[in-house]
Structure 1
């Protein structure tokens, strides 16, 4: 994933220094022809674009972007965002499961993510999710990336997924149950649940007057 800061010269060096201090990692200058700086799992190219490696966690990336923002470095929010996941471990059956899983919650996912399309594009080594055509805050990017990662994990682990979509009177309750099935359980996922439920109607805690537990049966 890349984030464009659009800075060069001395200002780019200040960005590299800030990242180095935040990560407590010395930068490595690559010289010609890339003129890039590598700081741990992150690279800053000559145009001032920050690239995160595949091994960088969403939590570390979000923390870095937040810390950079506090230091006066704001990246250019993209009008379109494509979240990518490694294809490793995906059999044909798992890919079919993923497609059915998205289809089974299509209406809720579209509303939760504020999007009108949910294509899944396959390359030789990646699964691409070009679902976003608006500017996103760093915490939204983190929540959506973790959500898609959880979808991929479930698709790999489930033996069979039904693509039939249900109608829901209480959107928040239904989607919260789904998030709990995906593993969004406990206080460490509180912010992600809040973001993913924010655009849905109804009550996340109650269905017909009964509070939903932290662990729920399949919905």
Structure 2
């Protein structure tokens, strides 16, 4: 793991942004509920007293109360296993929440394969039930959610009282790069859900999972160098080709390249 990937994983684990301290040290400083830590140019982590801290320890560490005891769970807090990303519920509407549910259900198999999950984040039955309902306002959606989602939605928690939306990676001891990728995905999914005017539940095509995932990530805006690691993680376990939807498309592309290579060039009417 590079230093950049380590910093991203720590940011994802603790929900805090690391600060680059610049020259001459080139260190990063991370302030989180576990304390303040410095990551040097070699990727070595130290606390403010200069003691070295292992990356594995810091990525697995539980939040501690000041006396060293495990901090009590906050209302609505998810169990300790897995990895959770908490985001604000503010800005969401009944439409955007419906969009988010439809995305999670539609991409159920892709997400299970990408993260090697033991169970889906969202049962398709919830999306199917949601598709048959309409809501006058958020209060009506809240009533539906309270009555319908029990046992159907393992990876999405909506806390209307505290105005938080939590997405959970249902996997014990996920790797740091998986946590970072999941956080990026959760943020982009919720933002994309707000932009969509309408969506329906439709399972992703299964003939080429890698292509389906890649095109979905691009729609979410997960392109460019900022999401390079996330794309790598999300595509690594999937079968198929990321570049071509079908083998026939790939063969057509190869044939075009071969024909172009074999075509003689001309200079002033003469064959090269």
Tell me the secondary structure at the aligned position of residue 122 of structure 1. strand
Q: Offset of 1:50 from its aligned partner?
A: 4.4
- Aligned match of 1:184: 222
2:31 pairs with 1:42: yes
Output the aligned Cα RMSD: 3.2
Q: Residue 69 and residue 88 in structure 1: after superposition, are their counterparts in 2 closer, same or farther (change >3 A)?
A: same
Counterparts of 1:76 and 1:173 in 2: how far apart (Å)?
A: 31
Gapped runs of 5+ residues in structure 2? 1-11, 23-27, 47-51, 62-80, 122-154, 251-272
Scaled by the length of structure 2, what TM-score is found?
0.53
- Aligned match of 2:181: 143
- Aligned match of 1:77: 60
Q: Which of 177, 180, 205 is matched with 1:167 structurally?
A: 205
Which of the pair has more CA radius of gyration? Answer: 2
Q: Residue 187 and residue 76 in structure 1: after superposition, are their counterparts in 2 closer, same or farther (change >3 A)?
A: closer
- Aligned match of 1:114: 116
Counterparts of 2:187 and 2:35 in 1: how far apart (Å)?
A: 22
Counterparts of 1:174 and 1:154 in 2: how far apart (Å)?
A: 17
- Aligned match of 1:131: 169
What do residues 111-142 of structure 1 show as CA deviations (whole Å, max 9, x unaligned)?
A: 11222131311113111112332212322211
What do residues 156-190 of structure 1 show as CA deviations (whole Å, max 9, x unaligned)?
A: 00000111214321110111010111111223322
Structure 1 consecutive aligned stretches of length 4 or more whose deviation exceeds 6 Å: none
8 Å contact kept, 2:83–2:170: yes
8 Å contact kept, 1:77–1:136: no
Gapped runs of 5+ residues in structure 1? 4-19, 26-38, 52-62, 212-219
Tell me the secondary structure at the aligned position of residue 207 of structure 1. coil
What do residues 1-47 of structure 1 show as CA deviations (whole Å, max 9, x unaligned)?
A: 765xxxxxxxxxxxxxxxx9x7539xxxxxxxxxxxxx987234xxx
Tell me the secondary structure at the aligned position of residue 166 of structure 2. strand
2:96 pairs with 1:94: yes
